[in-house]
Chain A
Amino acid sequence: MESIFFLVVAAVAVISSILVVTCKNPINSALSLVMTFFCLATFYVMLDAPFMAATQVIVYAGAIMVLIIFVIMLLNVRVETVKRGTHAVIAGSAIGLFILFQTVWFLMKGSMTGKVGDMTKEQIVSVGHVELIGKALFTDFLLPFEVTSVLLLAAIVGAVILAKKKI
């Protein structure tokens, strides 16, 4: 049952992400991206990570996509009329298919089971997903967590410098 559900959601995810890059109308692209994000959130739920699923929906599908759609509408981006080069499409598809076959062949070769993590389903349920993430964030990943703040500051300053009309 779960694997059928997974296959359906995975198919939707792949199709909608293909639509993101092939849609001629930017609004359709953006809406397909929302669809992809929802599929990702579904995967997180299936992997017993409800907190990740919630943040995925709230932050990506909610906040960020609303911003993107606002910008598209404000800029009044027109439907793309430029005809795409067919040579590039053929070459790209050929390389893509080659890499796909290569990947599948490679994956068939060996066992893919890596190290099983410390967390079990029961543990996640008893302690709580958010608590576990918080604990990891403030112990094991304390330094990455702090570095992120510097990263965001640099990104904000950079965006202002590049985008502001007059500095």
Chain B
Amino acid sequence: METIAMPAINLAVIMPEILLSCIAMVLLLVNVFVPGNNKAYLGYLSIIGLAVTAASAVGGWGPSVSAFNGSVVQDNFAIFFKVIFLISAGLAILISDRYMVQEDCNQGELYPMILFATVGMMLMASGTDLMVIFLGLELLSICLYVLAGWNRDNLKSNEAGLKYFLLGAFSTGFLLYGMALTYGATGSTKIQAISSYVMGNPGVASNPLFVVGMLLIAVGFSFKIAAAPFHMWTPDVYQGAPTPMTAFMSAGPKAAGFAAFIRVMIFAFPMLRAEWSDLLWILAVLTMTVGNIIALSQDNVKRMLAYSSIAHAGYALVGFAAVNAEGAAGILFYMLSYAFMNIGAFAVIILITKKGEVNGNVQDLAGFGHKKPLLAMVLSIFLFSLAGMPPTAGFIGKFYLFSAAIKAGYVWLAIIGVLNSAASLYYYLRVMVFMYMKDPEEDFEWAGATPAIAVCLLVAVGATLVLGVVPGTVLELAQKAVQF
């Protein structure tokens, strides 16, 4: 009997993932064994858990360390993304309590599910083995299917969960098929081994298996980041899912999709860079344009934000298509600021809508600016940031993405991006017009913010403005993160 040589297991590298999954499991048990119907405390415990995980993740900042035979890596790129995921999970948890109580939803398992989804996202960012990336994506997706259908008594939520599950499973098939073909062409699932094989055998670039593998992987990830023409699920799922979960889905998983997409494309397919860069060019233009044009005609604010989130994936793809350090750093910065501004906007929407998500239309916002001036101002800041107006984070993010495209010679791409950004002003400003300039037809009474939501709004507004006025430090960190 020969002994098996175990690979170097460096648990410190995956400590954040281990910590967070353990915390999630403990919370599941706490939920079962601690009596009482008020489960809000689980949310606060999860936020403590997220903070501990963030501390452990940030502690690894520095030179990259690989572990498990090159299955997973701890580098600045992964750490930056992990912080984005943890922030979006934390903000989503803060705004969950009030919504779930209002809609009579079960709360106990909600927080562990969000934490499990976050573990999946972290594995996607730090995985350097296609299998780890795939399993991280599956862990994330399965949690999201459940979270989207969380409001079991609401037909729209059921539809969102089922639709997301069916289309998600379909797209996972594409991704896995692509990974299998890549494995067949290169003989490994480790990104390191794939890249060294490709460097040693340039002929593989003309191997149909390899090219089709790259295309199918691109399709799978494009679905996750909701890029057109793989965006069909987004509006229905975002509208039907509980609002806090929509906020979470639009910020965290989108960033996770980008993290894995960037790592796989840049490291596993460097030979095909010209090809996939052109592919991303087309995807970016389609995604921005489709998202913005359809968003123009939406009345429901949640659905409008869903289409706008498609458009934002398009802006980030502009930076990706540029394939340079500025573009990658731009995506990191943009995903971080997008998490703050989008979750913030959804937090205000939670306060606006009543049970059953009625009065979520733009028209229902008439008079909101006079009744709740502070909340209306906060929402306006988020919308300005989403539209890309200075001095907000959205402006700086777009500025860097588009300037990266220009540096890479994609002037037309940048022009299309700016034009799209201008078109998006219409639907963001429309909300503000209704808030401040129209008189309400009915007399609505809006609820005030609960302490948890107030904290979320405070953090989000603060970050949106700070990242917009003094982006230097964070941008520097983002630039360090993409020095692979």
A interface residues with partner B (beta carbon < 8 Å): 103, 106-107, 109-117, 135, 138-144, 147-148, 150-151, 153-155, 157-158, 161-162, 167
Contacts and interface: CB of A to CB of B under 8 A. Distances in A.
Given A135-B4, A147-B136, A154-B139, A142 B71 contact: yes
Given A115-B201, A147-B136, A157-B113, 19 more contacts: A106-B211, A107-B208, A111-B207, A114-B184, A115-B187, A140-B71, A141-B71, A142-B6, A142-B69, A143-B72, A143-B132, A144-B129, A161-B106, A161-B113, A161-B146, A162-B149, A162-B152, A162-B161, A167-B106
Contacts of A103: 212
Contacts of B135: 144, 147-148, 151
Nearest to A147: B135
Contacts, number: 108
B147 to A, nearest CB: 8
A147 B139 contact: yes
A2 B197 CA distance: 31
A158 B207 contact: no
B142 interface: yes
Nearest to B131: A144
Contact of B113 (A107, A112, A115, A158): A158
Contacts of B5: 139
Interface in B40-62: none
B279 interface: no
Given A143-B68, A147-B132, A158-B145, A114 B139 contact: no
Nearest to B190: A140
B7 A142 contact: yes
Nearest to A158: B146
Contacts of A113: 207
A112 B208 contact: yes
A140 B206 contact: no
A154 B9 contact: no
Given A157-B28, A157-B109, A158-B143, A109 B132 contact: no
A143 B71 contact: yes
Given A114-B186, A139-B69, A142-B71, A154 B113 contact: yes
B143 A154 contact: yes
A119 to B, nearest CB: 11
Given A150-B139, A161-B106, A161-B109, A112 B207 contact: yes
A109 B132 CA distance: 32
A110 B207 contact: yes
Contacts of A112: 207-209
B25 interface: yes
Nearest to B138: A151
Interface secondary structure of A, over-half rule? helix
Q: How large is the interface on B (under 10, 10 to 19, 20 to 34, 35 or more residues)?
A: 35 or more
A10 B116 CA distance: 39
26 contacts: A106-B212, A107-B208, A110-B206, A111-B207, A112-B207, A114-B184, A114-B185, A114-B204, A114-B207, A114-B209, A115-B186, A115-B197, A138-B4, A141-B71, A143-B71, A143-B72, A143-B132, A144-B71, A144-B132, A144-B135, A151-B138, A158-B145, A161-B109, A161-B113, A161-B150, A162-B149
Contact of A109 (B14, B21, B150, B208): B208
Given A106-B212, A142-B7, A167-B106, A157 B129 contact: no
Nearest to B207: A110
A49 B71 CA distance: 24
A158 B150 CA distance: 9
A147 B123 contact: yes
A139 B129 CA distance: 13
Interface string B115-129: 010011001000001
B473 to A, nearest CB: 33
A150 B131 contact: no
B142 A151 contact: yes
Contact of B25 (A107, A153, A162, A167): A153
A115 B146 CA distance: 40
A142 B14 CA distance: 13
Contacts of A162: 146, 149, 152, 161
Nearest to B183: A114
B178 interface: no
B276 interface: no
Interface in B2-23: 4-7, 9, 14, 21
B205 to A, nearest CB: 10
B235 interface: no
Contacts of B208: 106-107, 109-110, 112
Interface in B213-251: none
Which of A115, A135, A138 has the most chain B CB atoms inside 10 A of its CB? A115
A157 B4 CA distance: 34
B112 interface: yes
A153 B28 CA distance: 11
Nearest to B212: A106
B132 A157 contact: no
Contact of B116 (A139, A142, A154): A154
Contacts of A154: 113, 116, 139, 142-143
Contacts of B142: 151, 154-155, 158
Chain A to chain B: the 5 pairs with minimum beta-carbon distance, closest first: A115-B187, A158-B146, A114-B185, A144-B131, A154-B116
Contacts of A150: 21, 116, 119, 139
Contact of A114 (B14, B109, B187): B187
Contacts of B185: 114-115
Interface in B89-109: 106, 108-109
A111 B72 CA distance: 32
A167 B209 CA distance: 48
Which of A141, A142, A143 has the most chain B CB atoms inside 10 A of its CB? A143
A6 B474 CA distance: 58
A61 to B, nearest CB: 20
B210 interface: yes
Contacts of A167: 106, 108-109
